[in-house]
Amino acid sequence: MVKNINGDIYSDLITVARPEAFWSGGERSLSAIRYIVIHGTATTNIVGAYSTWLKSRNNQTSANYLVTDNDIMGCVGENFIAWHSGGTGAITNANSIGIEHINSSIGNYNDASTYLFSNQTLENGARLTAEICKRLGLKPDRSTIKMHREVSATACPQTLNIDDYVRRVQKYYNGTQSAATQTQQQSTKTQSGGLLPMEFTFQVSGDKAYDPRTVYYANSARGIYRGLTDIDEWNVIKNIYKDSTGRDMPHYKWDAKAPWYVRAIVGMQLKKI
């Protein structure tokens, strides 16, 4: 199953679809996809990782997915070519999906051999890779799953043990428990360090553009937010969300100076309607 977010086709395992415009080499058919290329970001700065792919920065790099401990993030739809591998041989951006994994250095920042992946990030990436293999009819083995450095000259994905990664993929591919169910259980995010869910409400103090007494509803997938008129409207929205997701809709209270405020309103470029 897939999710269509404003024309971007993603695995339904995604917990977040980034609304920013990322670099892309144009549209393609999903049937063109033959390979999945595994990457490491060489940083745990999630916003920093995907911000380098912004079209406005013109770095000409991007990835289809970014995987963290807590999220499987859709960045460039599978139906668009992400610029992640630089391949000129059999494996190219046009015939592959690029999955970036957050990782961190435990030693010399400039030494790729010190960058380690967390177990949870590897599990999330493997689950996503298994779902893609199943859905696109690709073999969940080394004929499909490639390291970036097998495609072009790079240290990426640093210390990743590809055989271990493929074993994890096969565990999900052959597993009886639905991968979608597992992600659903851990997809709810909270205030610190995580990323915003697609729907939430918030209040802002310390910014003249917002009435601090007003509760605003935001839909980050649609890139919009609006002020709610009264408590009844808020309750209706909360009830619909709970009925459809089984969870409480997150509500945030931000000071205009807080980093979360900047990420939500400026970083996500939400438009008031």
Q: Residues in the site for Zn ion, rule: CB under 5 A? A: 39, 148, 156
Could you please report the per-residue DSSP string of 209-220? TS-TT--EEEET
Q: Please name the residue that has the structure tokens 């041989």.
A: 89
When the beta carbons of 80 and 260 are compared against Zn ion, the nearer one is 80
When the beta carbons of 79 and 93 are compared against Zn ion, the nearer one is 93
DSSP lists the bridge partners of residue 16 as 73
Provide, rounded to whole angstroms, the least separation between the CB of residue 143 and Zn ion. Answer: 19
Dihedral angle over CA of 41, 43, 46, 47, nearest 10: -100
Provide, rounded to whole angstroms, the least separation between the CB of residue 114 and Zn ion. Answer: 16
When the beta carbons of 39 and 168 are compared against Zn ion, the nearer one is 39
When the beta carbons of 77 and 87 are compared against Zn ion, the nearer one is 87
Rg (CA), the chain: 19
When the beta carbons of 156 and 221 are compared against Zn ion, the nearer one is 156
Distance CA 237, CA 189 (A): 19
When the beta carbons of 19 and 87 are compared against Zn ion, the nearer one is 87
Provide, rounded to whole angstroms, the least separation between the CB of residue 6 and Zn ion. Answer: 26
Provide, rounded to whole angstroms, the least separation between the CB of residue 102 and Zn ion. Answer: 12
The CB-based long-range contact list for 117-122 (8 Å cut-off, 24+ gap) reads 117/40, 117/157, 117/159, 117/160, 118/69, 120/69, 120/70, 121/67, 121/68, 121/69, 122/164, 122/165, 122/168
Q: Please name the residue that has the structure tokens 């049937």.
A: 31
Provide, rounded to whole angstroms, the least separation between the CB of residue 154 and Zn ion. Answer: 6
Whether the upstream peptide bond of residue 197 has omega within 30° of 0, thus cis, is no
Could you please report the per-residue DSSP string of 219-252? ETTTTEEEE-SSHHHHHHHHHHHHHHHSSPPPEE
Distance CA 15, CA 97 (A): 18
Provide, rounded to whole angstroms, the least separation between the CB of residue 149 and Zn ion. Answer: 8
Provide, rounded to whole angstroms, the least separation between the CB of residue 32 and Zn ion. Answer: 20
When the beta carbons of 152 and 187 are compared against Zn ion, the nearer one is 152
